[in-house]
Structure 1
Amino acid sequence: MAYDTIEFSLRDGVATLVLNRPDRLNSFNEAMHQEVRQALTEVQAAVEAGDCRALLLTGNGRGFCAGQDLSDRNVAPGDEMPDLGYSIETYYNPLIRTLTALPVPVVCAVNGVAAGAGANIALACDIVLAARSASFTQAFAKIGLVPDSGGTWQLPRQVGLARAKGLAMLGDKLGAEQAEAWGLIWRVVDDEGLRDEAARLAAHLATQPTRGLALIKQALNESGTNDLDTQLDLERDLQRQAGRTADYREGVAAFMEKRSPKFSGQ
């Protein structure tokens, strides 16, 4: 499929999805929502076929994503107000659910401003790298809205309730280095090396035991709402699955034979 608002490729087990509306700081309009959904459908099919073992998400230009393109939301006096809940239910919630449930690692390279839904889409990914010049902004309060795209779920769990309230209610920019210090992202990278570093990380993850990584992702995602007993039972059940994979057998064999493992993703 030809894309206009994104770039998409699949090579050597890594799917790369690049938001490509740089003149609008990669903010979402309906066309980009539809193209991202189509690309993720291709990713899901490739994962099921064993052809995709990691996803890299980033943006072109000087911003990762400024959230919703507000030019699509401009309402003249007297016009009926838009149903923002419809937009969330139709576009943003399915996107967050797909990224969270995708059974391969999702790496996000934040190359500039990540604002509103753009910030929370990044936080829905598994490992987030950010350029040193990048920033994260919960811009919703500045226009009278509530953080969406999982923001009110992610922020308290990652930075604590006090910081989450400050970020959400003030809408201040959080620099990449502070985001790293607060545990909001994995690591800060110098601007000029971000894309290459993210590509190397995704390529590495694509050589690892894919099924085991998917089970790790599931366990960690469910831990936030499980009590200890439920989580212990989940670990038991997931470990049972992991122990029956070809990659586990290969990992043990490589350890015993003192060689590097060659994981198949199975």
Structure 2
Amino acid sequence: MTDPVLIERDGAVAVITLNRPEGRNALNVALKTALVAAVREVGADESVRAVVLAANGPAFCVGQDLAEHATQLASGGGAAAAISTVRDHYSPLVRGLMTMPKPVIAAVDGAGVGAGLGLALAADLRVFGAGAKLGTAFTGIGLTFDTGLSYTLPRAIGDARARELILLPRMFGPQEAIAWGITGEIAEDPGARAREIAGLLAQGPTTAYGESKRLLVDVEALEAALEAEAVSQERSGSTQDHRDAVEAFLARRPPMFTGR
């Protein structure tokens, strides 16, 4: 089997690569588990002074693997088992990326949707491909924020725009993202440019970078947001609307919401 996550070390730079290109890096349990382990590994490795988060294939990450999610919803554990991934995987990922004492640069090409957008915003810097397609997508399947987006998105683009993007979950491009305040740059080869930036940062004052990140992240607020996301997803994930919307997505038909 192909490893779902690859770790490459180039001097003081570590590159974490999502490696499920055939599934557009949709986050199934194997990928999420490996990604949590990879983030913890490079975060604790003192020889690593900068990190790149990248992906193989045509998409950065299209979020939760809904086919696997539907199977979990239908299992004996039901919604509780399916939504436990927020506490088990998504929150630890965001916590690890945002609090590791070294810079993280996300190379985002293709789709970065739902949790994929959350991972990109959990990084310190972003490099986008010109054709990147971004979006929240959660309410389209009867869910709400996870992967720290309730914390990162309003801080990046403001409360009003964040409300628009969760209530009207349209896709947007990198030009819009940058104009709104999701800082980053657009490059022909996002992965190569992200490695270049990481190489420069790896030569910088690592302790100062780490302390700067610590000061910029309100850890208590982040933890409160992650816990609130988990509780809200448990409520949303228990609805009939969510179950029906996942089935509709997999059947490629529009969802019908009833508010239940």
TM-score (norm 2): 0.79
SS class of match (1:63):
coil
CA distance in 2, matches of 1:145, 1:169: 11
Q: Which has the larger radius of gyration?
A: 1
Displacement of 1:3: 6.3
Q: Aligned residue for 2:217?
A: 221
Question: In structure 1, what is the Cα distance between the partners aligned to 2:213 and 2:7?
Answer: 24
Aligned twin of 2:203: 207
Change (3 A) 1:119 1:169: same
Question: Where in structure 1 are there 5+ consecutive unaligned residues?
Answer: 226-266
In structure 2, the gaps of 5 or more residues are 222-260
Find the partner of 2:193 among 190, 197, 208.
197
SS at match of 2:213: helix
Tell whether the 8 Å contact from 2:72 to 2:79 is kept in structure 1 after alignment. no
Report deviation, 1:136: 1.1
5 Å-filtered alignment, 1:10-89, equals 10-47=9-46, 51-75=47-71, 81-83=78-80, 84-89=82-87
- Cα distance in 2, alignment partners of residues 102 and 201 from structure 1: 17
Please show how residues 78-227 of structure 1 align to structure 2 within 5 Å: 81-83=78-80, 84-190=82-188, 193-222=189-218
Report the Cα distance in structure 2 between the residues aligned to 1:78 and 1:24, rounded to whole angstroms.
21
**Aligned partner letter, 1:185:** T
Shift of 1:152: 1.3
The CA distance in 2 between the partners of 1:224 and 1:46, in whole Å, is 25
Distance of aligned partners of 1:172 and 1:91 in 2 relative to their CA distance in 1, 3 Å threshold: same
CA RMSD of aligned residues (A): 2.0
Q: Which moved more, 1:75-84 or 1:34-43?
A: 75-84
Q: Deviations over 1:71-92 (max 9, x none)?
A: 1111599765322441101111
Q: 1:77 to 1:25 in 2, by over 3 A?
A: closer
Q: Distance in 2 between matches of 1:120 and 1:76?
A: 22
Name whichever of 72-81 and 215-224 sits farther off: 72-81
Deviation track 1:69-124 (CA, whole Å, cap 9, x = no partner) reads 01111159976532244110111101110111100000001011000111011100
Query: Residue type matched to 2:58 in 1?
Result: R
Tell me whether 34-43 or 136-145 shows the greater mean CA deviation.
34-43
Higher RCO, Cα 8 Å, sep 6+: 2
Distance 1:3 1:23 in 2: 11
Confirm or deny: 8 A CA contact 2:101 2:207 kept in the other structure: yes
**2:121·2:152 contact (CA, 8 Å) conserved in 1?**
yes
Q: 1:26-79 deviations in whole A, cap 9, x for unaligned? A: 0111111121122223213312xxx10001001111110011101111159976
Deviation for aligned residue 1:223: 9.4
The answer to which of 23-32 and 33-42 deviates more is 33-42
TM-superposition CA deviations, 1:139-191 (whole Å, max 9, x none): 1010100011111111111111111011111110010111011111321222x
Q: 1:180, 1:188 within 8 Å by CA — same for their partners in 2?
A: no
The residue type equivalent to 1:220 in the other structure is L
- Check the 8 A contact 2:112/2:135 in 1, yes or no: yes
Q: CA deviation at 1:222?
A: 2.7
4+ aligned runs moved over 4 Å, structure 1: 75-80
Alpha carbons of 1:179 and 1:67: their partners in 2 closer, same or farther (altered >3 Å)? Answer: same
Q: Kindly, what percent of the aligned residue pairs are identical?
A: 33
Residue type at the aligned position of 1:195: G
Q: Report the 3-state secondary structure (helix = DSSP H, G, I; strand = E; otherwise coil) of the residue aligned with 1:130.
A: strand
TM-score norm. by structure 1 comes to 0.77
**1:130: Cα distance to partner?**
0.6
